[in-house]
Amino acid sequence: MQLTVESVLNEAGAGRFQRRLLAVFGLVWTADAMQVLAVGFTAASIAATFAVSVTEALQTGTLFFLGMLIGASLFGQLADRFGRRRVLLITVACDAVFGLLSVFAPNLTTLFLLRFLTGMAVGGTLPVDYAMMAEFLPSKNRGRWLVLLEGFWALGTVVVALAAWVASVYVTSDAWRWIFAVTALPALTGIWLRFWVPESPLYLQRTGQGDELRSTLNLVLRTNGKPELHRKDVIASSPTAPGSGIFSPSLRRRTISILTVWFLVSISYYGVFTWLPARLTEQGFGYVRGYGFLVVVALAQIPGYALAAWGVEALGRKPTLIAFLLLSALGCALFLIADDAYGTGGAILLMSFALLGTWGALYAFTPELFPTALRGTGMGAAGSVARLGGLLAPSALAVVFSYDFAVAIALFAGLLALAAVAAWFVDAETREVVLL
């Protein structure tokens, strides 16, 4: 009997194996979120330690995002060429090592270098994690589970906000060292857990590794309590995917459209959440002040993910993404017209809720737009343009923020609305579509 990888995964269902995979990837995803968002929470402390301005200290973020830009593109392509598993092990190890070494940086130059190297590692883990997770999921569950993985970003946001809050209260100097130490811990644990993760079945199929493919599929079936493959069962060879690259004629429109969305969402998200912590702790008013409110902002992300997880399966990837983009733009617009603490706080919570729902839908949609031979490359390209947005947010936009915070938020509202238009131009809906 001839079977496809998709049919075997559908038979296995989403069970214990996928839950374990989600826990392993989710732990490192939490660590990555903490590393990324630590930029905004550590800038003031770094500035105090090395006697520089906050703007200069934020260059740790600039170099971190530059590293992520390079790492996403480089490791995404390597994952397509040499396999997902090898790349995952390398990137998470580098994430942990360089992240931990950042704690002991004796001067600003060394810290800049270590944050750049940490950024390269984090940039490599993000696209490959999603490509691999997608390739272990049955089509009917894929969207929801990919949003669940993205939901660990909210967990990382809460943890780093709590760590910054505690450090601000109990640590009198060099609070950034304690925050970086907390961000490195999940990645250190994740190194050992990654050894349990087998190679992607779709990658094994594409590269003709039949014995390893059968062994991996049997592991999934066995772990989920399903009968293993019979000896006479034959796994079909990998289908031929259209095009020779992510910008080939058959993929060009969706690639350009989705990369545009990634860039616009990224510059808006990182623009808001790189500058917002310092602004709220220094200039907030009423209950919209300090790290306590920032923890609430982080918690507001969780229902955003929950709604996105429902939407991508019930409504589809594309309409869910567009709806969250428009809701994010609305949150920015409400921030502009708010005239008291309650209005400002409500607008910020809506931005947090909607922007993270946007990320959930975007991460569920993007890996399904590319064939297996190009999935790592496609996700790497998406990660790279996202990091370009993150790179611009703390540095190039500093002038806009210093001129008028409201003008910057208005700019983000326009960019998010433009991203909704770009998402509309994506020429595919991938709900329950078989991965090639």
Give the Cα separation of 249 and 241 in Å (integer).
13
Task: Determine the 3-state secondary structure of 234 from DSSP.
Answer: strand
* Greater model confidence, 293 or 355: 355
Coarse DSSP helix, strand, coil percentages of the chain, rounded to the nearest 5 percent: 80, 0, 20
At 165, the amino acid letter reads W
pLDDT, tens digit (0-9, with 9 covering 90-100), for 301-344: 888 888 998 999 889 999 999 999 999 999 888 888 877 777 87
- Region of residue 71 (phi > 0: left; psi between -120 and 50: alpha; otherwise: beta): alpha
pLDDT at 291: 58
**What whole-number distance in Å separates Cα of residue 108 and Cα of residue 105?**
7
Q: Which of 61, 23, 24 is nearest to 274 (CA)?
A: 61
Does the structure show a pLDDT above 80 at 236? Answer: no
CB 274 within 8 A of CB 327: no
Q: Is residue 432 part of a domain?
A: no
Q: State pTM to two decimals.
A: 0.81
Identify which of 320, 336, 379 has the alpha carbon closest to the alpha carbon of residue 132. Answer: 379
In a domain, 144, yes or no: yes
- Identify the band that residue 287 occupies on the pLDDT scale cut at 50, 70 and 90: very low
- Position 274 confidence tier, pLDDT thresholds 50, 70, 90: low
Tell me, yes or no, whether 431 lies in a domain.
no
Query: What dihedral do alpha carbons 96, 98, 99, 100 form, nearest 10°?
Result: 80
120 CB-contact burial (10 Å; exposed 0-12 / middle 13-18 / buried 19+): buried
Q: Decide: 379 and 130 in contact? Cβ < 8 Å.
A: yes
Q: At 410, which helix (H) or strand (E)?
A: helix 405-424
User: Which residue range is the domain that position 44 belongs to?
Assistant: 2-424
pLDDT beyond 80 at 390: no
pLDDT in tens, 187-216: 788 778 878 889 999 888 888 888 898 899
CA dihedral sign of residues 17, 122, 186, 150: negative
Does residue 106 lie within any of the structural domains? yes
Question: Dihedral of the CA atoms 152, 158, 159, 165 (nearest 10)?
Answer: 170
User: Is residue 44 within a helix (H) or strand (E), and if so which, with residue range?
Assistant: helix 16-50
Q: Report residue 400's pLDDT band, with 50, 70 and 90 as the boundaries.
A: low
Contacts 24+ apart (CB under 8 A), 180-183: 180/38, 180/42, 180/99, 180/100, 180/102, 180/103, 181/100, 181/103, 182/34, 183/31, 183/34, 183/35, 183/38, 183/99
Rounded Cα distance between 418 and 302, Å, is: 25
434 found inside a domain = no
Report yes or no on 436 lying in a domain: no
Q: Supply φ then ψ for residue 18, to 5 degrees.
A: -65, -35
Read off the pLDDT of each residue in 145-157 and give the average, rounded to a whole number: 85
* Residue 36 CB partners (closer than 8 Å, separation 6+): 64, 68, 122, 390
CB distance 64 to 115 below 8 Å: yes
Tokens of 234: 């034959």
DSSP-assigned states of every residue in 45-61: HHHHHHT--HHHHTHHH
Whether the CB-CB separation of 184 and 122 falls below 8 Å is answered with: no
Computed over its alpha carbons, how large is the radius of gyration of the chain?
A: 21
Distance of CA 184 to the CA centre of its chain: 17
Total count of domains within the chain: 1
DSSP string of 302-356, one letter each residue? HHHHHHHHHHHHHT-HHHHHHHHHHHHHHHHHHHHH--SHHHHHHHHHHHHHHHH
pLDDT at 253 over 60: yes
- Residue 434 pLDDT > 80: no
Place 34 in a pLDDT band, splitting at 50, 70 and 90. confident
C-alpha count within 13 angstroms, C-beta hemisphere, residue 47: 16
Nearest one of 9, 383, 63 to 223, comparing CA atoms: 9
Mean local confidence (pLDDT), 67-96: 88
Phi, psi of 235, deg, nearest 5:
-90, 125
| Distance in angstroms (rounded) separating the CA atoms of residues 322 and 324 | 6
Q: What does the alpha-carbon distance between residue 64 and residue 115 come to, in Å, rounded to a whole number?
A: 5
Please, which pLDDT band fits residue 419 given cuts at 50, 70 and 90? very high
Does residue 27 lie in a domain region? yes
The 8-class DSSP code of residue 369 comes to G
- Give the residue among 94, 117, 92 at the shortest CA–CA distance from 105: 117
Q: In this structure, is the dihedral angle defined by the CA atoms of residues 189, 197, 126 and 29, taken in order, positive or negative?
A: negative
User: Please, what is the average pLDDT of the chain?
Assistant: 84
CATH assignment at residue 199: 1.20.1250.20
Q: What is the pLDDT of residue 228?
A: 85
Q: Does residue 435 lie within any of the structural domains?
A: no
Q: Which residue has the tokens 């309590």?
A: 225
